[in-house]
Amino acid sequence: MPSLSTSEGANTWGMDIMAAPLSSDIEISQACTPLDIAEVARKAGLLPEELKPYGKTKGKVALSVRERLAGRENGKYVVVTGITPTPLGEGKSTTTIGLSQSLGKSLPVFTCIRQPSQGPTFGIKGGAAGGGYSQVIPMEEFNLHLTGDIHAITAANNLVAAAIDTRIFHEKTQKDQALFDRLCPAESDGSRVFAPIMLRRLQKLGIPKTNPNDLTAEERSAFARLDIDPSTITWQRVVDTCDRFLRTITIGQGAAEHCERKTGFDIAVASEIMAVLALTTSLADMRERLGRMVVAHSTAGLPVTADDLGVGGAVTVLMKDAIEPTLMQTIEGTPVFVHAGPFANIAHGNSSIIADYLALKLVGPEGFVVTEAGFGADIGMEKFFDIKTRYSGLTPSCAVLVATARALKMHGGGPTVTAGTPLNAVYKHEALDLVAAGCSNMQHHIRNALKFGIPVVVCVNRFDSDTDAELAIVVDKAREAGAFDAVVSTHWRDGGNGGLLLAAAVQAACQQPSAFRFLYPQTISIKEKIELIAKSIYGADSVAYSEIADGKIARYTDLGYSALPICMAKTHLSLSSDPALKGVPTGFIITVRDIRASVGAGFLYPLLGDIMTIPGLPTRPGFYDVDIDVKTGRVIGLF
C-alpha cells in the first residue's frame, strides 16, 4: 500500500508518494495520512484566525484573506478543460490535481475545483476527487457531505419554493386589504412598520414611502399582491439524489390547500442558488444576486423575484457559511479549495470566483492556481471565459486541454462507448488510424481555445493500454493545430512525478504575452450571441428557434436582459446538439427549443434539445458497492 513521507525536503508542501502498487482510488486515499488541515493552511499562507476547522482534514476559509492580501500581485491562472469526452470522462479532475502536485514540487500552488453532487456519486459516474495518485483526500469526505454547502443550497432553494406556493395560496384566499394587514400588522396604537426587505419592493414599484399607513389603497394592492401566474413558475424544488420519479410531481393535493399544480424536482447542484454561489464576488454581491433571482412572472408579465417574495434575506442567511471556500489537500499535501458545483449544462460548470480570488492572492506572483472547467471545451471552457472571467475580472494565463487515445478512437469512428458496459476491444489495443482520424476533434478544441487569445497546452492523459505510437500521433496533431506544446502525462499512476513535463510546458506557456479576449461583447443581441457560439465554437451552419424561444427572447429583451452572457445548455457528448454525432460534425443546425433566465446568477440559458436536470439511477447503481467497515468506521466502495 502507498505511504507518504512528511519530510519537507522533497517538495514545497512536504508530502511525497513512495513507490507502491496501484489499488482502488479509495484504498489509495485511505492509505495516506493527511496533514492536519491547520498545517496545510499554515503552509498555504493562511493565519490561524482565517481557518475554521471541520475536524482535522478540512475547514472553511474566511473571505477576509482577500482584504489582507489586497496589495499582493496575483499568481498565474490556469484552466483545465478537455476534448469532447466519452461518457466515462477523460480525466480532467485527475489532470487538474496531478498538474497542481507537479507544480507544487517547486512552486506555490493552489487547486480550485467544484464540490461534487452526491447524486452521481451513488449513481453511475462516481465521485470527482480525481483518481489514482492524483486525488483530493480524504476522498470519501470530499465526495459526501463535505462542509454542508450543498445541504445549505437545498434548504435555501426549497425555502424559496415554499414561499412561492404559500404566496399563491394566501393571495387566492384573501382580499387586498387583508393581505396588507397581515404583511404589515398594526400595533395597538395603529402604527405599522415595513420589514427592511419590503422597502426593496416599494422601490421597485416606484413608491417613495416608508410608512405603511401612508400608502393609498391602490399602492397597498400593488405592494401586497404579486399575482403570480402559476404557468410561468420556473423555480423547482431540489434534492441531492438521482431520483427520476421526482422529475414531474403534483403538489397542493391536501384538503386545506386548494392550489394543485404540476411541478418537479431538480438535483440540488442545478439550483440557481448554486450558480449564484459560484459567480458571486462578495457577501454583499451574493445578497443582491439572491434577491434578484426571478422565480416567476405575474399575470401582467412582470418578473417576480426572491425579494418580492420577501425571502432574499433569509436565503442569504442560510448561505452565509457556504460562501466560504472549503480547504482540503491533494494526496501530496498541496492545498485545494473545494467550492461550489454548478451543473455544466444549464449553468456554467465552474468552481467559485471567490475561491480563485483567495487562491491567486495566497500563491502570489510566483505561484499557480489551477482550476477546472466542466465537460468539454465547447461547454465548460467557453463558459469559463465568457461568463466566469467576465464577472471575476480575472485574466487566465493558459488553458490545458486534456485528451485521451480512448476518446480520440471514438471520434475517429470507433464503437459506441457506454457507461456501465465493457469497453470494445478496439479501445484496449493499438488503432493508429482511429486515433489519427479522431484528432480532428482535439484540433477543433485547440483552435477554439486560441480564439480567446491564450496559449494552449495539450495534456495527453496516458492509459495503461495506450501505445507510444498512438500517443506520438496525438502530440504531433496537437502541435500541428497550434498548441503551444503537447505532452504525455502519467499523473494518475505516478502522481506529481508523472506530470513534470506537463508542469514545465504550462510554466513556459504562462510566460507568453497575454492577449485574452471574450468571444462576444455584452452589447450585441441575444440571438447574435447564441449564433456566435453555435457557429464559431460548435461549427453549426445555422441556428433555428422554436416559437417559444422566439417569444421569450423578445420578452427578455424588453425586460432588459439582453446584456446578460449566454450559457448554452446542450449535450457534452458532441460538438453538435446530437450526442450521436462524433468527431467534428458539419452541416448541422442548432435548434433553440427554449430559453430561460437565471437573472440572479447573471446569464440566459438556451436549451438545445432535451436537458435533464435530475438524473435517474441505472439498474446497478454505485451505491451497491458502498458500505462501512463497522470495526474501523471506514467507508468502503466509493469510486
The yes-or-no answer on residue 492 being catalytic is yes
Q: Which residues contact 529 (CB under 8 A, 6 or more apart)?
A: 520, 565, 566
596 φ/ψ angles, rounded to the nearest 5 degrees:
-130, 160
Q: Which of 163, 344, 403, 569 is catalytic?
A: 344
Annotation says 428 is catalytic: no
Apex 182 CA angle, 218 and 163, nearest 5: 95
**Which of these is catalytic: 58, 60, 105, 114?**
114
Q: What share of the chain is helix, strand, coil (3-state, %, to 5)?
A: 40, 15, 45
Active site (annotated) includes residue 13: no
Place of cell 391602490: 218
The Cα–Cα gap between 256 and 555 comes to 36
Catalytic residue among 122, 492, 588, 603: 492
Catalytic residue among 57, 84, 94, 111, which? 94
Question: In one letter, which amino acid is 283?
Answer: L
What is the four-CA torsion angle of 332, 467, 78, 501, rounded to 10 degrees? 70
Give the Å distances, CA to CA, from 164 to 100, 176, 237, 272, 503. 44, 17, 11, 15, 50
CA-wise closest residue to 388 among 364, 415, 353: 353
With a CB cutoff of 8 Å and minimum separation 6, the contacts of 406 are: 86, 88, 90, 417, 423, 427, 463
Q: What are the angstrom distances between the C-alpha of 303 and each of 331, 363, 398, 603? A: 48, 43, 40, 15
Please confirm, yes or no, whether 122 is among the known catalytic residues.
Answer: no
Whether 359 and 584 have beta carbons less than 8 Å apart is answered as: no
Give the active site residue among 110, 265, 343, 375.
375
Active-site residue identified among 180, 235, 385, 463: 463
- Torsion sign over Cα 551, 555, 560, 561: negative
User: Nearest 10 degrees: CA dihedral of 269, 141, 44, 64?
Assistant: 50
Amino acid at the residue 126: G
Q: Give the burial class of 535: count Cβ atoms within 10 A of its Cβ; 0-12 exposed, 13-18 middle, 19 or more buried.
A: middle
Burial 547-579 (b: 16+ CB within 10 A, else e): eebeebbeebeeeebbebbbbbbbbbbbbbbbe
Residue 600: CB atoms within 10 Å:
26
Of 60, 125, 361, 477, catalytic? 125
Please name the residues in contact with 591: beta carbons below 8 A apart, sequence gap of 6 or more: 543, 544, 545, 546, 577, 608, 609
How many whole angstroms separate alpha carbon 578 and alpha carbon 483? Answer: 27
Give the per-residue SS3 of 163-185: HHHHHHHHHHHCCHHHHHHHHCC
Q: How far separated are the first and last CA of the chain, in Å rounded?
A: 17
Q: Residue 200 and residue 23: Cα distance in Å, rounded? A: 57
Active site residues: 92, 94, 114, 125, 344, 375, 463, 492
